[in-house]
């Protein structure tokens, strides 16, 4: 029962956070922002995780997860209400910063402790369930956001999303021992630094693999609303296209136990990168919402494989007492890509157009897949 309550809490929080990217992009365009400005706003989501993930991860290894998760939920709710109360481009920037911080404070303790719910023997199941929950949330969030914008307006959509992120506070308050505390930091672990984590070959490879797919996912969440807006699609249609990625990610994660019986994690990961690259290469050649949804489903199949494997490997490969810190290092690396990708591709879209954005990202994914293939060959 405990793991399903944890999954519910994760879903509710992710609905608010995932939906916020859609309404932030569309509201910024509504207020007169260009592609580059939207890219900067979305990049601000990653600034606090970039700067604070590692020290907060170390702190999370020393305290129970319930309190920071409650604080993170309050931050998310406040951030979502700010643009509703004071609509402006500067306030969207402030909200993006606070959303990134709130998600960091909520998510690191969750990811570091969920592997221990019900005992270590359930670790793989737990991470599969939590990532399937995020897939559900990432489908519902953009869809709810798009419908709310069309039915009401952007400001009310922020309020709807804020209601979702407040519910986990009540659940965590009602069940204070829902998540186990990660092991305390040992004397040996205290002596290590970040570079010690990066020197572990398997852990370093896991960071690289997660970062490749994560940067592609971040670009899609940022750029698809901009592309859909340029095509004249409604907010509901844009939300549906975005949600298809999460729907297909849910499907592929449900099938993952069957896939792992036939292929290794590295084989699945390399294949996923090439599938994502192929999907990105198709986007600039279609303008119909149905076709975009089909390609998004394909993209979700490619991107949906990596996350549960990455999270489970952190739990296994990180030194004792440093699980949250290892997660924090990963979020810092993701923060770098989450800042660079929106700003770079937002500027590229202004200069060269949509086709250059999608095709250049497809090319980078293909190169990354080739590098992973060579790396896998050397490791064998």
How much is the pLDDT for 24?
A: 92
- Cα–Cα distance between 78 and 162 in angstroms, integer? 8
- pLDDT for 270 beyond 70: yes
- Cα–Cα distance between 269 and 305 in angstroms, integer? 7
CB atoms within 10 A of CB 377: 9
The DSSP code for 115 is G
Cα–Cα–Cα angle for 143, 146, 147, rounded to 5 degrees: 85
Which pLDDT band, with edges at 50, 70 and 90, does 377 fall under? Answer: very low
Q: Which domains are present in the chain?
A: 2-176+189-379 (1.20.1250.20)
Question: What tokens appear for 365 in the block?
Answer: 């994914």
Give the CA-trace dihedral at 363, 366, 372, 373, to 10 degrees: -140
Give the chain's mean pLDDT: 82
How much is the pLDDT for 291?
A: 95
Residue with more model confidence, 201 or 80: 80
CB atoms within 10 A of CB 289: 17
- pLDDT for 373 beyond 80: no
How much is the pLDDT for 92?
A: 95
Task: Give the model confidence (pLDDT) of 70-94 as tens digits.
Answer: 999 999 999 999 999 998 999 999 9
CB atoms within 10 A of CB 41: 24
| Candidate from 36-40, 120-124, 167-171 with smallest mean pLDDT | 120-124
Task: Quote the crossing angle between the two packed helices 235-254 and 123-151, to the nearest 10°.
Answer: 170
Give the CA-trace dihedral at 109, 216, 317, 181, to 10 degrees: 10
Phi first, then psi, for residue 212 (nearest 5°) are: -60, -55
Task: Give the model confidence (pLDDT) of 155-164 as tens digits.
Answer: 999 999 999 9
Q: What is the pTM of this model?
A: 0.71
Say which residue the tokens 């944890």 belong to.
Answer: 6
- Cα–Cα distance between 46 and 44 in angstroms, integer? 5
How much is the pLDDT for 135?
A: 80
Task: Give the model confidence (pLDDT) of 43-71 as tens digits.
Answer: 888 888 888 888 888 787 778 888 899 99
Task: Give the model confidence (pLDDT) of 214-235 as tens digits.
Answer: 777 878 877 888 899 889 999 8
Which pLDDT band, with edges at 50, 70 and 90, does 181 fall under? Answer: low
Which pLDDT band, with edges at 50, 70 and 90, does 118 fall under? Answer: low
Nearest to 42 by CA among 364, 350, 340: 340
Phi first, then psi, for residue 335 (nearest 5°) are: -60, -35
- Cα–Cα distance between 229 and 231 in angstroms, integer? 5
Which pLDDT band, with edges at 50, 70 and 90, does 124 fall under? Answer: low
Largest alpha-carbon pair distance within the chain? 59
The DSSP code for 116 is G
DSSP string, 29-70: HHTT--HHHHHHHHHGGGHHHHHHHHHHHHHHTTS-SHHHHH
Tallying the residues shown for the chain, one arrives at 380
- Cα–Cα distance between 298 and 249 in angstroms, integer? 9
Residue with more model confidence, 6 or 345: 6
């Amino acid at each position: 029962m405990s793991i399903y309550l944890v999954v519910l809490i994760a879903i509710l929080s992710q609905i608010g956070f995932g939906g916020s990217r859609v309404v932030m992009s569309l509201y910024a365009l509504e207020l007169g922002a260009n592609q580059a400005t939207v890219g900067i706003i979305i990049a601000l989501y990653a600034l606090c995780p970039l700067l604070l993930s590692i020290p907060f991860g170390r702190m999370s290894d020393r305290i129970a997860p319930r309190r920071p998760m409650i604080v993170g939920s309050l931050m998310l709710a406040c951030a979502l209400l700010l643009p509703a109360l004071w609509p402006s481009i500067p306030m969207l920037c402030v909200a993006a910063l606070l959303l990134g911080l709130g998600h960091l404070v909520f998510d690191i303790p969750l990811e570091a402790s969920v592997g221990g719910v019900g005992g270590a023997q359930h670790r793989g199941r737990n991470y599969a369930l939590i990532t399937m929950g995020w897939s559900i949330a990432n489908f519902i969030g953009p869809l709810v956001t798009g419908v709310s914008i069309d039915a009401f307006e952007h400001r009310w959509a922020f309020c709807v999303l804020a209601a979702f992120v407040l519910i986990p506070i009540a659940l965590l308050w009602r069940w204070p021992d829902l998540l186990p505390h990660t092991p305390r930091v040992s004397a040996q672990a205290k002596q290590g630094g970040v570079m010690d984590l990066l020197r572990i070959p398997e852990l370093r490879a896991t960071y690289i693999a997660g970062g490749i797919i994560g940067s592609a996912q971040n670009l899609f969440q940022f750029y698809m609303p901009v592309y859909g807006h340029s095509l004249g699609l409604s907010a509901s249609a844009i939300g549906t296209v975005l949600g298809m990625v999460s729907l297909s990610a849910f499907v592929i994660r449900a099938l993952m136990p069957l896939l792992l019986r036939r292929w290794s994690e590295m084989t699945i990961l390399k294949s996923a990168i090439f599938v994502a690259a192929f999907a990105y290469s198709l986007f600039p050649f279609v303008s119909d919402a149905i076709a975009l949804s089909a390609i998004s489903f394909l993209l979700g199949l490619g991107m949906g494989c990596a996350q549960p494997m990455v999270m489970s490997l952190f739990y296994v490969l990180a030194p004792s007492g440093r699980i949250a810190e290892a997660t924090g290092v990963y979020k810092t690396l993701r923060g770098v890509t989450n800042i660079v990708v929106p700003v770079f591709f937002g500027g590229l879209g202004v200069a060269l157009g949509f086709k250059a954005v999608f095709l250049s990202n497809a090319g980078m994914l293909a190169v990354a897949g080739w590098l992973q293939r060579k790396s896998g060959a050397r490791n064998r």
